[in-house]
Copies of this chain bind each other. A is one copy, B any other.
């Protein structure tokens, strides 16, 4: 059994309750909302973010029901973000299926995304926990800011620095991982220190998650990731593999790479050349080394929590799992 299946079986009661909440909060008299919402949520994926909220709450011995409301809210924020992202990125495939914007059009995706955002806030409000709402609404705001920042950078058509890349992935991905972990501490009435530790753990895990995502865009297998490989490259999105590659190239190839980034579009030949250069310069290995250092960082955050139980163990193993994911 894979780690995720293990966790799902351990949390099966809570997951069942979350699924009921999801269905309940997608049911409206407007069929199109239910249809698009269900399509997206059914595609499901691993639901790693809500699992983080559940595991973090359980690790701290939480015994109420608010973790289910918050986990569902987290999943809804994530789903809304995906809908809007796919419109902005003009993506056509996600998790082996055509994206919602392809099936129902981008207008429906925009509006159903707004609906999911609003529903996520309604779910949070039901917990009555102001600090939990503060954490998640802050994350949602930072995500939007990160997406705008990515869009602005894309328009500039330039190589970004590793520091800039770090900022983008922190805001667009890691902040929601962080809040998902933190709210588990918050509703369990943990100290500010413990909440902050969980937040930091989530940040590192989220960064790992996004770096792997960006790596898979170059080194993943379409039959595993369920979307087109090299989407980022053809879109002109500068991610870690490109940033690291640039550093290792000679002047001529550096110029070539910059030209590709500056160009209106990129060709299949461009991609093959970049891929070949990445292989030559062992970019994948370099990124895996970096990810292993992040893994140590994540573990050291978790070690600061003075608790030992299976939930903590699952959280710790999720880091390794995230690094090794191929889809």
Across the interface, name the chain B residue whose C-beta is closest to A127: B130
A19, CB-defined interface residue at 8 Å? no
**Contact status B140-A118, CB under 8 Å:** yes
- Chain A interface mostly: helix
In the assembled complex, the CB of A142 is this many whole angstroms from the nearest CB of chain B, namely: 8
- Contact of A115 (CB < 8 Å), options: B111, B114, B145: B145
In the assembled complex, the CB of A124 is this many whole angstroms from the nearest CB of chain B, namely: 8
Which residues of chain B have C-beta atoms less than 8 A from A88's C-beta? Answer: 107, 110-111
Assembly CA distance A113 to B87 (angstroms): 14
In the assembled complex, the CB of A219 is this many whole angstroms from the nearest CB of chain B, namely: 28
Binds B, one of A27-35, A224-232, A250-258, A265-273: A27-35
Copies of this chain present: 2
How big is the A interface, by class? 35 or more
List CB contacts (< 8 Å) of A113-128 with chain B. Answer: 113-115, 117-119, 121-122, 125-126, 128
The 0/1 profile, CB within 8 Å of B marked 1, for residues 14-40 of chain A is 000000000000001011110000000
- Contact of A114 (CB < 8 Å), options: B28, B119, B144: B144
- Contact of A152 (CB < 8 Å), options: B30, B118, B133, B140: B30
Q: A88-B107, A151-B32 are in contact. Are A115 and B144 (CB under 8 A)?
A: yes
Assembly CA distance A108 to B168 (angstroms): 16
10 interchain pairs, CB-CB under 8 A: A32-B151, A33-B145, A88-B110, A111-B151, A118-B140, A118-B144, A121-B121, A121-B137, A125-B130, A126-B134
Residues on A facing B (Cβ under 8 Å): 28, 30-33, 80, 84, 87-88, 107-108, 110-115, 117-119, 121-122, 125-126, 128, 130, 133-134, 137-138, 140-141, 143-145, 147-149, 151-152
